[in-house]
């Protein structure tokens, strides 16, 4: 499993077998996300339970001045670090829920329209009671806390980069 | 020594540049770099990563490091 996280291996692999489905488990991509695709990435014969989470673009957002209509979102990521942090969340999940056999996290960047998925998470376990629901919830909470990705809200009359809830243990700037 | 400073999202927008090289004395730590940041981002909250790993104010810097200034993340 560690081999597919090696970027050299990934390039090599994609050159040799361009027709193969993408097997990267932790990926930042500009392409639209697909539930079928992430299900295939975690599918295993020894797992009968897969929980998926999709984060999608809401058409409204709460602001200090009340609710505003969103036109679309733009996402940016520090791609190599984001993929590394998502893989680390996968490791944390496996440590906390030893029955979890596979985790995949995909996040889209670039322009995302209302209702489109921006993040997909899938967790596979042998049975539904083996922690797949809890592990999936854990993964999205961790992603929102530590993975270096940012969204820009675009409205009819402006745009603003959104800052997420501050993680005190990560703050370096003087307060 | 020289470190590469890279800014993301709102911090890049406010500072008006994406990347620049900052010269620091040997033995400098992250806190020393903070004094070299543009006035426009003083007072903003951010995290720092050195070579793609989160760092602290007392983390050591070395020549060639890629230092990223990260606003509180808002993915998902």
Asked if B75 and A145 come within 8 Å (Cβ–Cβ), the reply is no
- For residue A167, pLDDT beyond 90: yes
Let me know if residue B76 belongs to a domain. no
CB atoms near residue A165 (< 10 Å) = 10
Task: Answer whether B68 touches A (CB < 8 Å).
Answer: yes
A19 pLDDT higher than 80: no
B11 within domain boundaries: yes
Q: Is residue B75 part of a domain?
A: no
Task: Report the top-level CATH class of A27-159.
Answer: alpha beta
Percent of chain A residues past pLDDT 70, beyond the cut: 87
Q: B8 vs A146: CB contact, 8 Å cut-off? A: no
- Judging contacts by C-beta atoms under 8 Å, the chain A residues touching residue B47 are 167, 170-172
Residue A70, pLDDT above cutoff 50: yes
Segment B47-57, tens digit of pLDDT: 999 999 999 99
- Assign A20 a pLDDT band (cuts: 50, 70, 90): low
pLDDT in tens, A100-117: 999 999 999 999 999 999
Report d(CA A102, CA A54) in Å as an integer.
17
Mean pLDDT of chain B: 96
Q: Is the pLDDT of residue B72 over 60?
A: yes
pLDDT tens-digit map of A112-148: 999 999 999 999 999 999 999 999 999 999 999 999 9
Q: How confident is the model at residue A93 (pLDDT cuts 50, 70, 90)?
A: very high
Q: Compare CB distances from A147 to B9, B48, B73 and report the shortest one's residue.
A: B73
d(CA A111, CA A57): 11
Instruction: Give B12 or A13, the one with higher predicted confidence.
Output: B12
Higher pLDDT, B3 or A66: B3
Please spell the DSSP secondary structure of B52-66, one letter per residue.
TEE--TT-B--TT-E
Q: A154-163, B43-52, B55-64: lowest mean pLDDT where?
A: A154-163
Residue B51: inside a domain, yes or no?
yes
- In the predicted model, is pLDDT for residue A15 greater than 80? no
B4 touches chain A (CB under 8 A): no
Tokens of A104: 């995949």
Instruction: Return the residue of B nearest to A160 by Cα.
Output: B10
Give me the pLDDT at residue A29, please: 98
Question: Can you give the residue range of the structural domain that contains B62?
Answer: 2-70
Taking the Cβ of residue B75 and every Cβ of chain A, the question of whether any pair is shorter than 8 Å is answered with yes
Work out the percent of chain B whose per-residue pLDDT is above 70. Answer: 100
CB A166 within 8 A of CB B72: yes
- Where are chain A's structural domains? 27-159
Indicate which CATH number applies to the domain containing B55: 3.10.20.30
Domain count, chain B: 1
Class of residue B14 by CB neighbours under 10 A (exposed 0-12, middle 13-18, buried 19+): middle
């Amino acid at each position: 499993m560690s081999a597919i996280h090696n970027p050299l291996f990934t390039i090599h692999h994609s050159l040799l077998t361009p027709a193969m489905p993408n097997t990267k488990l932790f990926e930042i991509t500009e392409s639209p996300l697909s539930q079928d695709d992430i299900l295939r990435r975690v599918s295993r014969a020894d797992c009968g339970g897969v929980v998926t989470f999709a984060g999608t673009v809401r058409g409204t957002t709460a602001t200090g001045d009340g609710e505003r209509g969103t036109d679309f979102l733009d996402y940016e990521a520090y791609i190599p670090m984001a993929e590394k942090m998502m893989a680390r969340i996968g490791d944390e999940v496996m440590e906390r829920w030893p029955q979890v056999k596979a985790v995949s996290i995909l996040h889209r960047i670039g322009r995302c329209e209302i209702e489109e998925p921006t993040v997909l998470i899938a967790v596979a376990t042998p049975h539904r009671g083996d922690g797949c629901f809890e592990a999936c919830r854990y993964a999205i909470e961790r992603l929102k806390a530590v993975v270096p990705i940012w969204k820009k809200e675009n409205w009819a009359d402006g745009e603003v980069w959104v800052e997420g809830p501050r993680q005190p243990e990560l703050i370096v700037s003087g307060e | 020594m020289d470190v590469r400073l890279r800014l993301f999202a709102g911090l890049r927008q406010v500072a008006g540049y994406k990347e620049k090289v900052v010269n620091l004395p040997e033995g400098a730590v992250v806190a020393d770099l903070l004094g070299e940041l543009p006035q426009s981002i003083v007072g903003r909250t951010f995290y720092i990563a050195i070579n793609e790993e989160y760092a602290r104010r007392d983390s050591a810097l070395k020549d060639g490091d890629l230092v990223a200034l990260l606003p509180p993340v808002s993915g998902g």
